[in-house]
Amino acid sequence: MENPLAHTIEMATTTQSPEQRELALIGKVELRIALADSDTKLEAILKTYLAPLLLKLSSEHVGVRNKLISICQHISTRIKPQSIQLPVAALIKQFKDQESPLVRHFDLLYIQQGVDRLSTRDKAELLPVIVGGISRSGSQGSQIFNLLLRLLESFTLPPRGSKEDLAMRQQFEVTDNDASYLASWLGKFILFVPQKGTATTCPGLNAEDFAFINMQGKENPWSPSAGSLNLPRTKVLAARLLSSGLFNDHERFLPALFASADPASTISDVGDDILKRALPATDLEGETLVSQLFGLYFGEAGAPRVRASLRLKILGLLNKSTHSTTFSHHIMRMVDDGVATPAVDGEDVVMSNAPTRYVSHLLRACQGSVLSLRRVHAATWPCTELLLTRANRCTVMPASAAR
């Protein structure tokens, strides 16, 4: 498509340098913006010219880029009235197609200013634009993910299993990378719990993931009174999105597990429903999944272990996995965890008998052979024996505990 800026000037003379031609081009648009004497006229000009104008920020000429930054400062002053609509959809599409950090920065700047001015219908129409290609968000991933969360309230999901639901992934042009990326961050978002003071992690999230969800330290990112999103409500919407045709059972399994253990029933009910449908299609003997479950249980890569309610769910799944009994190092940590003195916060009290149930599962997998358990890790056998004494008095966790 021909750049609309080209219609604002006459044919450049052969005596002009490339930089001069670019400056002449944007100068004509700058004049149009300056002469717009009403918000309506300014909005019409920006609808046509804002995206291609920002595209010129990828120019190789420093003078051109500096001139455009100056124009952007003028535009930012002029668009303060909330009634002025910005071409958000065009800017999002340009953001996805461009690799220039400067173009992406200013695209996102005006996207964020413009999205809250849109009608509910226009916001709903933006969700497919955001989702398709979201895995290519790069260093602006945190802002794009938060933008998606802001659109969820306006988007009505089709009935589950309907023709429209099953067609969402193809209709939204969602790649496998997009679905995997989005499901992963929706799961981490469900795990996210704001922390007091200077804490930079929370159960299940390391500092990098915590900062991503927390908008890189933005002030009051989850305070509705400050114009931000309502965290519990947005988690419900995120969980519902996971149940849609955008994702397959493999992609939504762990996020659904996280949701099923949430203390808020509005979130856990959605998670339980998804988990019940996804579990039959999930291979609990898979090396990667079992390793992920142990990693969540104990904490890894700088992330503290998940909360007790989720650890109980994880143990329920490990109880169904024979392959999990081959993870010797994790089993010994489980033994140590089971005989440790409960913490004063009471969370470990909730977990006090759970590891013994898993050891009972381990015994069954080893056909009840004490020698098999001794071979797992002879050095910690006294702890194991103590835990087995508990296990002999403990009933095996019913299947319903894993829900």
pLDDT tens, residue by residue, 333-360: 877 776 555 554 556 555 556 666 666 6
C-alpha dihedral, 34 to 37 to 42 to 45, nearest 10°: -70
How high is the pLDDT of residue 218? 77
pLDDT tens, residue by residue, 2-36: 566 555 545 444 578 999 999 999 999 999 999 99
How high is the pLDDT of residue 220? 74
How high is the pLDDT of residue 165? 96
How high is the pLDDT of residue 326? 85
Take residue 243 and report the two structure tokens written for it: 């149940």
pLDDT top residue among 221 and 97: 97
Confidence class for position 203, pLDDT limits 50, 70, 90: very high
pLDDT tens, residue by residue, 114-142: 999 999 999 999 999 999 999 999 999 99
pLDDT top residue among 364 and 81: 81
How high is the pLDDT of residue 70? 96
> Rounded to the nearest 5°, which phi and psi values hold at 303?
-95, 130
How high is the pLDDT of residue 115? 95
pLDDT top residue among 48 and 333: 48
What is the spatial distance between Cα 65 and Cα 60, in angstroms, rounded to a whole number? 8
Least confident interval from 70-84, 138-152, 380-394: 380-394
Residues pairing with 205 in the sheet: 202
Angle, helices 381-392/328-339, rounded to nearest 10 degrees: 70
Hey, what long-range contacts does 13-21 have (CB within 8 A, 24 or more apart)?
18/61, 19/59, 19/61, 19/63, 19/64
What is the spatial distance between Cα 391 and Cα 382, in angstroms, rounded to a whole number? 14
Confidence class for position 371, pLDDT limits 50, 70, 90: very low
How high is the pLDDT of residue 184? 98
pLDDT tens, residue by residue, 243-283: 999 999 999 999 999 999 999 999 999 999 999 999 999 99
What is the spatial distance between Cα 279 and Cα 276, in angstroms, rounded to a whole number? 6
How high is the pLDDT of residue 196? 86
What is the spatial distance between Cα 233 and Cα 224, in angstroms, rounded to a whole number? 11
How high is the pLDDT of residue 277? 95
Closest CA to 387 of 358, 350, 344: 358
Q: What percent of the chain has pLDDT over 90?
A: 69
Q: Residue 310 corresponds to which amino acid?
A: L
Mean pLDDT of 137-152: 94
Rounded to the nearest integer, the mean pLDDT of the chain is 86
How high is the pLDDT of residue 179? 97
How high is the pLDDT of residue 15? 76
Residue 402 has pLDDT above 90, yes or no: no
Full-model pTM: 0.84
CA angle 10, 11, 12 (to 5 degrees): 110
How high is the pLDDT of residue 395? 42
How high is the pLDDT of residue 146? 95
What is the spatial distance between Cα 104 and Cα 140, in angstroms, rounded to a whole number? 8
How high is the pLDDT of residue 114? 96
